[in-house]
Structure 1
Amino acid sequence: MNLDSLIIEFDRALRAVVGSTPMQRAIPGQTQHDLDLSAEEKQHAAGLMRVNHVGEVCAQALYQSQKLYARTPELKEKLEHAAREEEDHLAWCAKRLEELDSRPSLLNPLWYAGAFVLGSAAGLAGDKVSLGFVAETEKQVEQHLDGHLKDLPEKDLRSRAIVDQMRLDEIEHGQMAKKEGGIDLPTPIQGAMQFMAKIMTRTAYKI
């Protein structure tokens, strides 16, 4: 990777952590009227959207690190495309947190660093393992977003629209990874990923 590429990747990492990521697509649900939420509903919705924002910070780290070790230009481009869509998710969640009078997680640098290490390890293991890691991650994220669609206040139409579009994109990314040859990860690794995700979500909801 040349110097220009390194600068670009560092800039993307910095933007992901500080929450100034640009978006290519309009925010879903912006035509929806923001219905009155109680203080408790607003706080709960903000907690869930903060968790989603952290997930997108981690997604940036995972895709950027795995892209560094991809063996073919074609795979690099597919990972880059997915990362750009995840940038939209990141920007959408950040905007919704602002609308809910809340903020991103204070631990974003830690989340990014941890995810970058995991993504690098997967990338170093080879493309099939790396793609399998993408597929399993996206499957778990899809399940997580399904839960949020059930848990978000019914009146929070804007957050629900964002989460719904994120879910559709994550399904597409997972299908891409399987189609490109991603293998099924061993059950213990899947379990470890679920355990780490639980720690992240419970912490990010509050901090």
Structure 2
Amino acid sequence: MTQPISPRHYSPLDRLLIEAERALSTVAGTPLAQRNNPAEDTPAAELDPAQQRHAAGLMRINHVGEVCAQALYCGQAAVARDDRTREHLLHAAAEETDHLAWCADRLRELDARPSIFNPLWYAGSFAIGTLAGLRGDGYNLGFVVETERQVEAHLAEHLTTLPPGDDRSRAILSQMKTDEARHGAEAQLAGARQLPEPVTRVMALASKIMKLVAYRV
């Protein structure tokens, strides 16, 4: 009889190298989406210079948000106690890679670059995700719910403030908003616990600072 294959147990060094590779791929690599870009069949519109700068600023914010999401989920998964929670987080991170690739594509189309602070955003978010995960899987999932709630809110705001003709950016953000809502709902069903109000306030403040900086650089 064939013996079942045991799941591989990584050494601390293995895990460190895996996370380092993920970090480099996220902040310096060219992420590959598993799904088609939602904007691929949407015709490009002519934007004047001010509109193009504004659209680029918004898409840079969303690109940073996806960098942070990768780091948060990977940090949380690294210390998750339950295999199902870990798989949930890594699955969400995989879909966030699609978002990262789509935002990067749109930034290139707008002749703009990602935030120069992406390595800092990643490192800080990974640390926050790890700390959240250490509180236990219920709070781990609760952090996902609150993160996705805040992201969904700022995507809704961006959809109303994009230049009127920028349907390519709008198509990307609309799909992202749908995905984020689903991630939050799935985390809630998986057993998320309500985060203390001071934590949600700090998260909102950190998000506001990130958006102010990323819009410009």
Normalising to structure 1: TM-score of the pair?
0.97
> How far apart are the structure 1 equivalents of 2:43 and 2:29?
25
Give the structure with higher Rg (CA): 2
1:31 corresponds to? 41
State yes or no: 1:86 paired with 2:124. Answer: no
Q: Distance in 1 between matches of 2:88 and 2:177?
A: 18
Aligned to 1:196: 206
The one-character-per-residue Cα deviations of 1:21-43 (angstroms, maximum 9, x if unpaired) are 11101111111110111111000
Q: Please, what is the CA RMSD of the aligned residues?
A: 1.1
Q: Is the 8 A contact 1:19 1:91 kept in 2?
A: no
The residue type equivalent to 1:116 in the other structure is: F
Structure 1: distance between partners of 2:117 and 2:85: 30
Query: What is the identity percentage for the equivalent residue pairs of Structure 1 and Structure 2?
Result: 54
Matched, 1:117 2:127: yes
Give the equivalent residue in structure 1 for 2:181.
171
Residue 149 of structure 1 contacts residue 163 of structure 1 at CA under 8 Å; is this kept in 2?
Answer: yes
SS at match of 2:152: helix
Post-superposition shift, 1:8? 3.4
Question: Equivalent residues in 2 for 1:31-180 (5 A)?
Answer: 31-180=41-190
Q: Which amino acid aligns with 1:20?
A: T
Tell me, which stretches of 5 or more residues in structure 2 are unaligned? 1-9
The residue matched to 1:29 in structure 2 has which SS? coil
Distance in 1 (alpha carbons) for counterparts of 2:29 and 2:112? 13
Q: Is the 8 A contact 1:131 1:180 kept in 2?
A: yes
Residues 33-88 of structure 1: per-residue CA shift (max 9 Å, x gap):
10111111000000000000000000000010100111121211111110000001
Quote the offset at 1:92 in angstroms: 0.5
Amino acid at match of 2:139: V
Aligned AA (1:164): S
Question: 1:19, 1:94 within 8 Å by CA — same for their partners in 2?
Answer: no
